[in-house]
């Protein structure tokens, strides 16, 4: 055969190869999404799960939480935001429901009505758009905290968008977030839902090379400062909340990463 013929054959083979490869990749991703719910506890909630100071951990398919009955909200909500979770699908916004999995009785959404505060998602609805079920599951009252609207739609929203950016960039991140339930707090509603004075977010990435962490502590008010101004060490968040964030991590690594307040490994 002529050289040109060989070249043509090889070119076609490469093109077919790429298509087959992509097809297999897409199939694998879809299979992963289908399994998401069943594997949530094993994948999302095992290794990086924080400790509970309230002894009430609840696992949902899309996230886990530790519920604080005295403050009528979660002390933390934890979930893995995989790159494959990121989706542009629009879902109709459902109504908030009382989380029946909370045995002590989760707060009613009525506490928030006319309170002047948003029902602020802890696990954002936008992080669970991959299925309608996952999206709707974020509308449980165990996943919300009273948030000032300017804060929620402002700097906090900006941080949540940055988390999605990192999930895309670093092939997924594990997220732990909540209000700091300590000190003197305002309360709202008949059940007295505490209004946190600070909110935190702790991230760990173990998917893109060496394991890295970053933590944010934000006063409960909107700000025009850049996000990195709110970076603190994980140790600082632990000191405020009493939560041990990554107890399953090897001690040496945990101690080193949690003491650091450097954000050089995180692209802003």
Which residues of this chain interact with DNA, rule CB under 7 A? Answer: 90, 93, 95, 110, 112-114, 118-121, 124-126, 129, 144, 147, 149-150, 152-153, 157, 160-161
Active site residue 60: no
199, 125, 204, 238 alpha-carbon torsion, rounded to 10° = 20
CA atoms within 13 A on the CB side of 94: 16
Distance CA 32, CA 59 (A): 19
Distances (CA, A) of 45 to 2, 37, 175, 200, 211: 59, 12, 11, 19, 17
Q: Is 191 exposed, middle or buried (0-12, 13-18, 19+ CB in 10 A)?
A: middle
Distance CA 38, CA 45 (A): 12
Least distance between DNA and beta carbon 36 (Å): 18
Closer residue to DNA, CB minimum distance, 91 or 261: 91
Distance CA 147, CA 144 (A): 9
- Which phi and psi angles does 58 have, rounded to 5°? -125, 135
Closer residue to DNA, CB minimum distance, 155 or 257: 155
Least distance between DNA and beta carbon 110 (Å): 7
Least distance between DNA and beta carbon 267 (Å): 20
152 has binding-site annotation: yes
Sign of CA dihedral 147, 140, 108, 243: negative
Closer residue to DNA, CB minimum distance, 144 or 243: 144
Least distance between DNA and beta carbon 44 (Å): 18
Closer residue to DNA, CB minimum distance, 8 or 150: 150
Burial 139-161 (b: 16+ CB within 10 A, else e): bbbbbbbbbbeebbeebbeebbe
Least distance between DNA and beta carbon 248 (Å): 28
- Residue 162's contacts (CB-CB under 8 Å, 6 or more residues apart) are 227, 268
Closer residue to DNA, CB minimum distance, 5 or 224: 224
Catalytic residue among 121, 135, 149, 220: 121
Known catalytic residues are: 121
Binding-site annotation: residue ranges for Mg(2+): 152
Binding-site annotation: residue ranges: 152
């Amino acid at each position: 055969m002529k050289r040109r013929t060989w070249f043509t054959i090889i070119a076609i083979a490469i093109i077919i190869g790429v298509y087959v490869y992509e097809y297999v990749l897409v199939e694998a991703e879809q299979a992963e999404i289908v399994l998401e719910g069943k594997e949530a506890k094993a994948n999302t909630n095992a290794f990086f799960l924080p400790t509970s100071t309230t002894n009430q951990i609840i696992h949902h398919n899309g996230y886990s939480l530790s519920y604080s009955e005295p403050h009528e909200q979660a002390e933390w909500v934890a979930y893995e935001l995989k790159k494959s979770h990121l989706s542009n699908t629009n879902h109709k916004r459902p109504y908030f429901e009382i989380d029946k999995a909370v045995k002590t009785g989760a707060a009613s959404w009525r506490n928030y009505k006319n309170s002047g505060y948003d029902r602020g998602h802890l696990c954002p609805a936008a992080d669970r758009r991959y299925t309608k079920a996952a999206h709707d599951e974020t509308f449980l009252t165990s996943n919300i905290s009273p948030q000032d609207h300017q804060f929620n739609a402002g700097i906090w929203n900006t941080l949540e968008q940055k988390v999605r950016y990192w999930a895309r960039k670093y092939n997924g991140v594990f997220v732990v977030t909540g209000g700091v339930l300590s000190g003197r707090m305002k309360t709202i509603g008949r059940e007295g839902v505490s209004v946190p004075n600070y909110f935190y977010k702790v991230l760990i990435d173990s998917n893109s090379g060496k394991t890295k962490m970053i933590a944010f502590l934000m006063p409960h008010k909107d700000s025009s400062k850049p996000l990195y101004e709110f970076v603190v060490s994980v140790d600082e968040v632990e000191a405020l909340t009493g939560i041990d964030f990554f107890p399953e991590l090897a001690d040496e690594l945990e101690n080193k990463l949690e003491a650091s307040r450097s954000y050089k490994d995180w692209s802003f």
